[in-house]
Structure 1
């Protein structure tokens, strides 16, 4: 095969005969006709972000779009909270935590029931917003932080709790961190049930949130907003 003018000339060893071969040749010809050749040096370019070049942001945007969500979900990272807690909340915001329902897409799961209550399928929504363990945790956190009762229906509602709290800016930052720590503690409690068969009550999870929240906040700041 060689290119002559604006089209390719085919040098056949034999002519395509079957319908399948003719279709493949047609598809190949259409693809090759879209190729433009010149004498410049070969180089790599990032098509998704050709204006500014390659960037991690462009890759992230492309991956999320490939999953069927063309809009980047907003997530505000809390600086005084450990990165492991932020990552759990960030992945939860993307519905990318390895819940049983999510794993069922690619793994043979015997049961998809919630390990806490064993009454409903363990989706992201149920585990963090509807399960009895989670609702009791959020009720205790609202009392501790002296904010109105927390009513949540989606995971994104959890991450907006601090924005709707009628408190000053610094206190909002503390509430945001405690909410993220709560998500991490609930997820950690779930893992202990699944992998170690250790059941944890809502009261135990709340005690962990308070102790770790106080310690982490004290280590990262010199403010006295948690008592």
Structure 2
């Protein structure tokens, strides 16, 4: 675990907290607690740190501007991205079924474990230690969050509704790869037949990518 502690920049005085943060429910037992309660706490710690950071980063932003930026920084995808950067998956404690189904790469498991690690640091050394780790690991994401906060599906829907068109339809057109690492292809279609497709490891990511591609095309054509 020492190498992982080096990656997150925190040495645990109570290493049992880190072990619990890395223990998935699939391998828990009466004598071995999983990370679900820590995940709950870590989500709240992350939220407080990001709320404070956003207010300090842009002192003129309105609540309406801050809310989507906040969501972009704390959503599961962002937590999973940070988890991948520190190779959290390699130290996760998983049951055999989860390991066989690619659990170390699953976005939900990585995001949940990242939140649990945040809580473990908070309980081990207090809020300031957790805040320091979060700000270091999230790094430049805070400064460029305006770009990440624009949700493509929402932006596309607003675009077509402003032109009195029906909301876009999302259709799964293909699913490839093994069960533990599927690739979904999603098409987004408008009433007039305009369409774009995109592929990703989750339906949500594929929908977002397809919406972004279609929105870019529509904006270029106007």
Query: Which bracket does the TM-score occupy, shorter chain normalised?
Result: under 0.3
Please say which structure displays the higher CA radius of gyration: 1
TM-score by length of 2: 0.23
More strand by share: 2
- Ranked by relative contact order (alpha carbons within 8 Å, sequence separation 6 or more), the top structure is 2
TM-score by length of 1: 0.23
